[in-house]
Structure 1
Amino acid sequence: MTRSRWTLRRTLVVGTSVLVALAFVVMSLATIVALRSFALDRLDQQVGEGLSFAVGRGSFDHSGADQREGQNRGQDADRPAPRIGSLQAVVASDGTVRTSNYTRSDGTQVQLTDDQVALLRADVPTDRTPTSVDLGGDLGSFRVAAADLDGTTVFAGSSQADVTATTSALTVILLAVSAATLLIAVVGLSLFVRRSLRPLDRVAEVAQRVSTLSLSEGSVDIPDRVAPADTDPSTEVGRVGSSLNDLLGHVQSSLAARHHSEEQLRRFIADASHELRTPLASIRGYAQLSLGEDAPMTPTQARSFDRIESEAQRMASLVDDLLLLARLDAGQPLRRDEVELTLLAVDAVSDAHVADATHEWRLDVTDDLISVTGDENRLRQVVANLLRNASTHTPPGTTVTLSLGREGREAVLRVTDTGPGIDPGVAGRLFDRFARADDARNRDAGSTGLGLSIAEAITAAHGGSISVESVPGRTVFEVRLPA
């Protein structure tokens, strides 16, 4: 899962846990470095004290060696035992190693090898500054300081094993404690964040429920609101919840106003269409009456009366379509009879062939008898509108096929033509009222742009659906109805 898809809860938990882990790492590193520095300082003090003690034992010249040997034998019993892990070496000016020993953990002393002495002489300066030297073998790393006394070099050092062991143990302890603490912090943080985000989850649930409502048409009611407990303006989540409630209130008011406006417009169209039918019928009647008389009439008068009759007929058809759409929008129930779609398809193709012989009309029925429950006249209107649409918007010679079949529990009717296709820019609004497809197909001037809208409204009133797919050379209108 990518970072952008993380939930807010996961982002908070992971982000805070990373910060806590970084804090533990920095704290642990600082603690280890500080402890090691402190232990090395203490070790350097011990090395400096050991060097001072070794130098204070006396000079290391040859002339007084025998005399000092007798004196030293008497003093050996009074000297303290060498510290465990300490190292001492004395090298004469000519490179002769007078003494070189290391005290083991059991108190025994071992002599340094010539290579180890050579490392001391090469790496340790004689300015009494402690320096880390790895002597290898069983000895390991030492802090060693050296001083020059009349050409004789005195070395004193202590093993760093205790410092290394202490820092290693501390590292293990810090890792274990930090890991356990981080685990507890992550669990506690997860519970805390989950509890803190519960109000936001409730606000999201309200928004999710509202998003599933159908707000596109009809009377819309949005009863869901964020609870008062989640609308406290003093909190961030409360401000979101309060803003969401205000937004839902505005949306409901806007939808109510839209529905009221649509209802007024629908009633106006229905009333206007109903009132226009009578004067239009009168105009057509008087035009037919005038044309039916044998009274002499100029060509202009005859053509005018003929145009009056044809335009009145066209306007009457438009008024009938508007009235039908207004009634369907108002939810006027349709007749619920058994309709034989097979016979309906046969009649529709026959009528289309008679009305337009310039197209090739075909019928493809897969089943002998397919029936649905609905209004036969309205379903005939759907099929007729689709066939008329194909006839109007395709050039002569186009093959139009009406196919009918059953898919599952649905009756599927398809009108397929081999015309030039529909412009993709028009396809999205093809079922809108008064939609024009001039950019996609050849169009006759008599089209009102309501045929497909009526087909969609009637299909929806029957509980079905209508869709279109189009590519150059093939356009398919598909109607699905509950069988």
Structure 2
Amino acid sequence: MALATVLVQRVYLLGDLDQRVTDAAERSQGGLQRRTGGATDLGFLNERGQPAGTLAARFADGEIIAAEVVTADGRQQVLTGVQRAALAGIAADGSLHTRTVPDLGVYRVTAIGGDGVPVLAGLPMADVRQVIDRLVAVEAVIAGVGLVTAACASAVVIRRQLRPLGRVAGTAAEVARVPLDRGAIAALPRVAACDTDPGTEAGQVGVVLNQLIDHVESSLAERRRTEERMRRFLADAGHELRTPLASIAGYAEYLNGEDRTIPADVAWHRVLAQSARMTALVEDLLLLARLDEGRPLHLAEVNLATLVAEAVWDARAAGKGHDWRLALRVDGPVTVVADASRLHQVVANLLANARVHTPAGTEVTVVVETPGPDRCVIRVRDDGPGVPAGLLPSVFERFTRADGARSRTPGVAGGTGLGLAIAAAITQAHGGRLEVESEPGRTEFSLTLPTAGRSCVADPPEL
């Protein structure tokens, strides 16, 4: 602003000076036309209105023949040869020139001719330069004061604006000092609400930092849960394997001893039974490990109604003491893209769970329906005692057992607690979901799978 002001003022002052120089030359030429003096007469400088420092000259054949200047006391002073030489070379065409006249200073001069007497006039630039120099000095002082004031105000404002960022950095440093790699992690500090205004840059940083801390906490909590599940899994797996191994070791020692109170074929049969139980447990664990690794399934189009019907017939043959019912609520074939053997294992596990954990005479209903063109649902419902409310959140976790909370069929060997976990893992691998709802007198497992194509929804009579 100061530079622009100086430049504009300079242009204005020089333009005004040029206009006054031109007016002085025209007045000089007009005054000569009214005078009767000789060729060197410059008496018009005595006229009123000629300011001090006004310079005038006359030409003859392109050379200055007379030149005078108005002094401070109002008189005329003849220019010396050196001073006149500084004015040489100026054409009488009305153009403006800047010349330095010795002992007089810098002048703005012009020469006009035309139909009149050629004459040269000039005015000193000292006043204009003095005004411009003073203006530069004043503007420099104002600009300096303004810059200092702006710098101080900016420093105060910036420091105030950066205070929230400093507090955010302090929170980040406090979180960085927390030993996340060991020990129990307490609640991590958060950026205060006053420093999380999304309308400011510092507030946006605070919001993002809080989101990062939330993510770290949730990741740590999930890691702790995973580690706890892994410890519990290893403990349960060790316990499950220890029982058959202890039986096998005991019977093997018995077969090698001399005590024959138990027939050898019975002891050997028990060894084989415990070996089979241990083999089944290991195979279940391997299956869960493969599913956790995301190994590909052998996918093909499977008729869901046929698969479920076969699983129900198998369950009916294994559990004759239960009342088995099958309801197909579809208008046509229901096709899913799945691994047939694994999907059959899911349905068989659900039916075995209903058979093992309910008393004889329990009604078990299996429903296949298509609530929409893009999904199908298998529901396994029984009217047994139900799953305890405290067990529902973990019913699909590994080694979860009812432990007598639901009546177990007499004479049926205890399970390993992996059946529902395997069913849930296989369902998830197929892009479906397995859910359970239970209360005394009604337990329902719902298996939802995406269909391979569009199917029609209907509700024919139950079969």
Q: Taking CA–CA contacts closer than 8 Å with sequence separation of 6 or more, which of the two structures ends up with the larger relative contact order?
A: 2
For normalisation by structure 1, the TM-score amounts to 0.45
For normalisation by structure 2, the TM-score amounts to 0.47
The structure with more radius of gyration: 2
